[in-house]
Structure 1
Amino acid sequence: MSLLQDLNAGKLHGFHGGIHPPERKAPANLTPISHAGLPEELILQVRQHIGQPARLRVEVGERVLRGQPLTEPLNPMMIPVHAPTSGTIVAIEDRPLCHPSGLDGLCIVLKPDGEDEWRPRYPVADFRLLAPDVLLERIHEAGITGLGGAGFPAHVKLTPRKKTIEALIINGVECEPYISADDRLMREHPAEILLGVEILRHIVQPQTTILAVEDNKPEALAALRAANRDENLLIVAVPTKYPSGGEKQLIEILTGLQVPRNGLPADIGIVVQNVGTAYAVKQAVIDDEPLTRRVVTLAGEAFSEPGNAWVHIGTPVRYLLQRYGLNPEPEQRIIMGGPMMGFTLHSAAAPIIKGSNCVLAPKQAELAPPAEEMACIRCSNCADACPASLLPQQLYWYARSQDHDKLNNHHLFDCIECGACAYVCPSSIPLVQYYRVAKADIRHAQREAELAERARQRFEARQQRLTREKEERQARQAKAAAERKARMAEQAAAGGEDPVAAALARVKARQQEQGPDDMAAARAARKEEARRNRELKQAQAGSSSGEPDANGSAETDKKSAVAAAVARAKARKAAQEAGAVPTAAPPAAQTDSAATGDSAATDDKKAAIKAAQEAGAVPTAAPPAEQTDSATTGDSAAADDKKAAIKAAVARAKARKAEQEAGAAPTAAPPAAQTDSAATGVSAAADDKKAAIKAAVARAKARKAEQAAEAEKQAAFTPSDREDES
């Protein structure tokens, strides 16, 4: 009641700071609102508001109707985008955005078909029959955001909170220079605006409703007062001062209350909406028309036809410049918004969005470009002009040094970016730009911190899960072990025997049955097998690296040695497996074997040499000394070794004979061929004999070394072992 009494008595309050820049509302506000028409294509940004972009629900090539939703919101902070007219979706791609960054973003490109065909609509005759929740849902589905420039979702502001709403304020101040979109809308559509205000009152249920208009708009004030039939609605004229149209500043002017830092107007029981938003609410609720167009001011001396126009959302700025006769000068600037809070467009291909209220094309003589930045002189003009009672100078220094903590301590986010500080700065420092960049950096750092915190929480949750699973696994294992012990105890109690002890006893019994001698013999057999494998590998390596002589005798001897080694290994292995070769023969047996083996060894050697001569492996004219050495070295060999040698010789002979039959190794080269292959010109026969003698001597030495090693191994056994075996 005190607020109503003060307002009725004309009592208003003030706010700190503020400036009085040239208004320059004319000549744009002198003519009625026109219709901009339809361009060849409409570029619809998917995100045109504060919040997350909604999900696409159309595809390229799809025909859509006017008012049809093109995106689908998944949460309250997502606002859908609708088709401004009927046509075909020709592209969904990145296009230049209507944003200070000048970056590209996801857009839906619609080609109008000229029919302007509406989707089915369902108007409401009496909105009072609908519950506030239904009206809020209808406003959300219509895609309505704050049309004053901030782009905050309208239904979120109107959502009831725990605190009772004391006042609903409709903002018609429009304090920024050049802009007159709300002024012309209030002049030409006062009844629709007031109907929208009634809908908002039905949703919010405030104790007081105030419609504030700046006193430099007498025509708008007169039109609203003439159309007003509600005694509970106060239409108040506020003094002209920039930025009195700011939400927090207007609340302070009307009520004398200040919104707390980092708070919202709803925290003190106040809701603020723009007059353009009220008109859009009426269109959405009563006529079932979503937000697909808005009034845009086209101002600046570069326009030959300045004014205000109904512009479809998604209209490229380039089309408006051509439609309203832009006469550009060199380095012409195009500003989206007013001269105080607007930003210079990087591309005229950027589209009109829901928060676009002005396209400004000033000439340099009308609005000079920013001057070169100079050093701060600490004049404090910025602090005097700041409507948020901040310290712009300190914020400037902290923004340059990227000191985020001190920026937060000095309440950077209370800055409304009105530009009053930069307007009065004698050093031409673009303070607002520094604040915008600092805010973006802080938001980015906060997002990174939030992501890191979520990652930390996920990691800790994972570690806890792994620890829990490990404990559960250990518990299961312990439980299983306890159950096994219990079962074994039951078995032992039932059968009188411990299963574990019985298994250990069986293992020990097997080890005792084998005995130490058998284990030693097994180890010796494994060592012998390893030695033979090494010899076989050495023989194979030597055969691969040897070079053949003129008749290929070296290569043939290497192959023969390898084949013999393989045959001996196989023979001994077969004998060991069959038990034919004793691991440790007694001395008496060795003596007998050596005594009886002299003649047999001689005969076996002769037979082997004869077989090799017949196969062509050993030359027939070998000297007697070689035969004598071979026979002598075979005297001390065991009978099994002689048999193995004979088998190896027979195998070599067969292999060599097979190679001769296949043409791989000629048995008898003609004298002419032997003469040609000799390097020194000496006779081939003499060289062949020398090579054969060397090969035979090498084989005899190898056999003798093998026999000596075998004898040493046999001598390693103890006399007791030999007596047992005898």
Structure 2
Amino acid sequence: MLKTFPKGGIHPPENKITSSIGIKRMTVPKVVNVPIAQHIGIPAEIVVDRKDKVEIGQIIAKSGGFVSSNIHSPVAGTVTKIDQIIDTSGYKKQCIVIRTDAKNEANFEEVTYPLLKEIKLEPKEIIQRISDFGIVGLGGATFPSQVKLNVKEGTKLDCLIINGVECEPYLTADHRLMLEKAEEIVVGIKILMKALHLKKAVIGIENNKKDAISIFKNIIKKEDGIQVAALQVKYPQGGEKQLVKAILGREVPKNGLPLDVGVIVHNVGTIFAIYEAIQHTKPLTERVVTVTGKHLETPSNFWVKIGTPIKDLIAEVGGLPEGTRKLVNGGPMMGKAIKNTDVPVTKGTSGILVISEDEASRGKSENCIRCGECVSVCPMGLEPHLLMNLSEKGMYEKASNEDIMTCIECGSCSYVCPSNRPLLDYIRFGKNIVKKLQTSKN
């Protein structure tokens, strides 16, 4: 029987339209807008100025603290300005604007790196390079990877879990990466096992990716300590707490982290970025992005330079179809609408979803009928209808007491609500207020 998490969850239509489409390389744009806050934590500090020449991989903003990350230039070119530009959050953020030059030729972009299996760096050197090269979680959270790996002495850690679930509908970036870079990912896993002094790692992949499961099972026959766990297809299986429960049966504490139960979780994209940093001294300057939608001319997966305007990706798939209502950064469940197509790709951009008028329309919100559907599907065991009501009425202290901050914002509650109530919208709003209140108290 396939493993899964026991509490809640749903199975929305998968719509993995691009799962059989190989990753193409996007043309380097004429201008990139590189945000200095592409990670959870303190924004990086800019170390370049207007008119400065920069090279590919050069640090242009240094980590601003312990929970922060370096930013590297994704292109060779000239810094034209440092400006406030709307990013994927919908708010204006400080960006470094770089005009690319002739050094960004196709022969450089198409270079093929050899597979390097020998790991020469020592554990401390591995973690330092991950920090230096700006690696963050590429599954969406963008948590600086070196922070996860700085495990305090005496902490009981016995397993590394690699998240290859990609349960969000439409998105296939991780799936394609696993198919095309499986051997590199396995080396990346061994790098982290060495850095963390671990003897066990498990790759979690949902059973709708049988080809990826087969490839990894074949590769790891020659490896000690690495396993593949085929998982039942259920959303939101990619959540860290749900994944740890599904694979190991361990319950991460309510306000805790996987480390509290002896586990560290990393996304497959992050593992590949770590492989490139350690084996090929390549900073995180590009990532795989799925550009998809039912009405697009040629939905595809792309290697994209960080800072590339989303309008370039849209043009590459044939432009916006007539009747487009919404652009979403990410998938339909947890993604957020994008204000305009000038927004740049960041380290956390896993996909761009183009939604038509009929798909985006919401039914009229009605009164709650107390059916309990939202409670039954919540993977965190919360009462979404109650949290929405408390947020709507401004009862934030009570919302905090009802564990609103443990909500992972998966959207399962909104998806199943027969009254079309905007549960997640209000819960997100309430979480933001509660977080600010908690910060002010500290």
**Is the structural similarity TM-score above 0.5?**
yes
Letter in 2 for 1:16: K
Partner letter of residue 37 of structure 2? R
Residues 127 and 262 from structure 1, CA distance in 2 versus in 1: closer, same or farther, beyond 3 angstroms?
farther
Q: Please list, as runs of the form range in 1=range in 2, the aligned pairs for 1:72-221 lying within 5 A after superposition.
A: 72-99=62-89, 102-116=90-104, 128-161=119-152, 162-221=154-213
Conserved 8 A contact 1:127-1:199: no
1:280 equivalent in alignment to 2:270: no
The letter of the residue matching 2:155 is K
Aligned CA RMSD, in angstroms, stands at: 1.8
**Residue in structure 1 matching 2:369, options 368, 377, 384:** 377
Mapping of 1:529-544 within 5 angstroms? none
Which residue in 2 is equivalent to 1:437?
A: 429
Q: Which runs of 5+ in 2 are unaligned?
A: 109-113
In 1, Cα distance between equivalents of 2:217 and 2:2: 19
Tell me the SS of whatever aligns to 1:416.
Answer: coil
Q: 1:112 to 1:262 in 2, by over 3 A?
A: same
* Cα shift at 1:159: 1.4
Q: Are 1:315 and 2:300 matched, yes or no?
A: no
What code does the residue aligned with 1:259 have? V
| Whole-angstrom distance in 2 between the partners of 1:125 and 1:339 | 37
Corresponding residue number in structure 2 for 1:346: 339
Counting strand residues as a fraction of each chain, which structure ranks higher? 2
Give SS of 2:98's match: strand
Q: Which residue of 2 aligns with 1:390?
A: 382
Structure 1 CA distance for aligned equivalents of residues 175 and 97 of structure 2: 31
Q: Give the aligned partner of residue 322 of structure 2.
A: 329
Q: Equivalent of 2:37, from 32, 42, 47?
A: 47
Cα deviation, residue 319, structure 1: 1.1
Cα 1:343–1:13, aligned 2, differ >3 Å: closer, same or farther? closer
Q: How far apart are 1:11 and its partner, in Å? A: 7.2
1 CA distance for matches of 2:305 and 2:331? 20
Aligned residues of 2:193 and 2:200 also touching (Cα < 8 A): no
Q: What's the counterpart of residue 290 of structure 1?
A: 283
Q: Distance in 2 between matches of 1:22 and 1:251?
A: 24
Counterpart of 2:54 (choices 64, 75, 99) is 64
Shift of 1:127: 6.4
Secondary structure in structure 1 of the residue aligned to 2:356: coil
Q: Distance in 2 between matches of 1:337 and 1:243?
A: 14
| Paired residues of 1:181 and 1:357 also in contact (CA < 8 A) | yes
Instruction: Give the drift of 1:125.
Output: 7.1
Between the aligned partners of 1:372 and 1:38, the Cα distance in structure 2 is 43
**TM-score normalised according to structure 2 size:** 0.94
Equivalent residues in 2 for 1:223-622, closer than 5 Å: 223-228=215-220, 229-330=222-323, 332-365=325-358, 367-450=359-442
Cα offset, 1:128, TM superposition: 4.3
Change (3 A) 1:312 1:234: same
* Change over 3 Å in CA distance of 1:41–1:376 after alignment to 2: same
TM-score, with length taken from structure 1: 0.58
**Aligned-partner SS, 1:90:** strand
Would the alpha carbon gap of residues 446 and 351 (structure 1) be closer, same or farther in structure 2, given more than 3 Å must change? Answer: same
Find the residue that maps to 1:333 and give its secondary structure.
strand
| Stretches of structure 1 lacking an aligned partner (at least 5 in a row) | 1-9, 451-726
CA-to-partner distance for each residue in 1:482-512, whole Å, 9 max, x for gaps? xxxxxxxxxxxxxxxxxxxxxxxxxxxxxxx
1:43-62 alpha-carbon deviations (Å, 9 max, x no partner): 11110110010111000000
Identity of aligned residues (%): 37
More helix by share: 1
8 Å contact from structure 2 (residues 292, 352) kept in 1: yes
SS at match of 2:397: helix
Please give the secondary structure, in 2, of the residue aligned with 1:77: coil
Deviations 1:392-427 (A, max 9, x none): 111111111222221121111111100000000111
Contact 2:4 2:231 (8 Å CA) reproduced = no
- Matched with 2:13 is 22
Q: CA deviation at 1:207?
A: 4.1
Q: In structure 2, what is the Cα distance between the partners aligned to 1:13 and 1:180?
A: 20
The alignment partner of 1:155 has SS state of helix
Q: Residues of 2 paired with 1:75 and 1:52: CA distance?
A: 6
| The structure with more radius of gyration | 1
Deviation of the 1:445 alpha carbon: 2.0
| Larger relative contact order (Cα-Cα within 8 Å, sequence gap ≥ 6) | 2
User: How many residue pairs were aligned?
Assistant: 433
